[in-house]
Every structure is written in structure tokens, then in C-alpha cells.
Amino acid sequence: MTEQSNAIPDDTESFDPAASSLSGQVDRGIMDELLSIRSSIDNIDATLVFLLAERFKATQKVGVLKATHKLPAGDPGREAAQIARLRRLAEDAHLDPAFAEKFLNFIISEVIRHHEAIAENHQISNHQA
């Protein structure tokens, strides 16, 4: 197996927006409508990925700042305020607030994990200097 075949495939080469186990089983008009809606979902998913990437770039900067000044990785007061805020936003957007909270809790746990790694790397760098 070549090295390239082990690489993550380029989205444009591997993603088939018309992929469906329903192909040939439903009316063509319904399938066309389904694929159209799914195209919108695909665009939203791509946007979410890029937004999350930007969010994590910002939280990496927070992690470096915290590590530099020996601040804790987590900030329970900030986290609680963010969860409450996101729940309100979810309610306003007619999104299940419990889902929004679970989603944010997952992101927060990842951010804290990253901040802890940054702090550990920062400590190692300071000891070597």
C-alpha cells in the first residue's frame, strides 16, 4: 500500500454528495429534493468545521496565555456563564437547549484538554531553557 493511500482523502475526490442507500428505491423527484436539502446540510457542516477550527485557534491563544501566567486550564465560572448563554441562544433559535449544552460541554472538555497539554509543554520548555 502506498503512503498516499493511507492519507486522509481530499474531500472533493472522495465525497459523493449523491451517495445514498435509497438510490433507485424512491421516486426520482423525491430523491432530487432530498439531495437538494442534503446539499444545504453539507454546506452547513463544512461551515461548522471551519468555525470550530477558528474557535480552537482562539482557545489555543487562551491556553498559551494561561500557561504563561500559570492560570488553571479550566474556568468554572466562565464555563457556567457560557453554558447558560448558549442555552438561552438555543431556546431563541428553537434548538434543544439540552443538546446545545451537551455540545458546548464537549467543546469545553476538549479546550481544557488542549490547555492542559499546552501548560505541560510550556513547563517542559521552561525547564529546558
Give the separation between CA 122 and CA 91, rounded to whole angstroms: 40
CA 88, CA 81: separation in Å to the nearest integer? Answer: 11
Cα distances (Å, whole numbers) of residue 87 to 11, 43, 109 = 33, 24, 17
Q: How far is CA 96 from CA 23, 41, 48, 53, 73, in A?
A: 31, 18, 18, 24, 28
Alpha carbon distance 27, 17 (integer Å): 18
pLDDT, residue 127, reads 74
Per-residue pLDDT of the chain (129 residues; tens, 9 = 90+): 344 444 444 556 789 998 999 888 999 999 999 999 999 999 999 999 999 999 999 999 999 999 999 999 999 999 999 999 999 999 999 999 999 999 999 999 999 999 999 999 988 888 776
pLDDT of residue 125: 80
pTM of the entire predicted model: 0.77
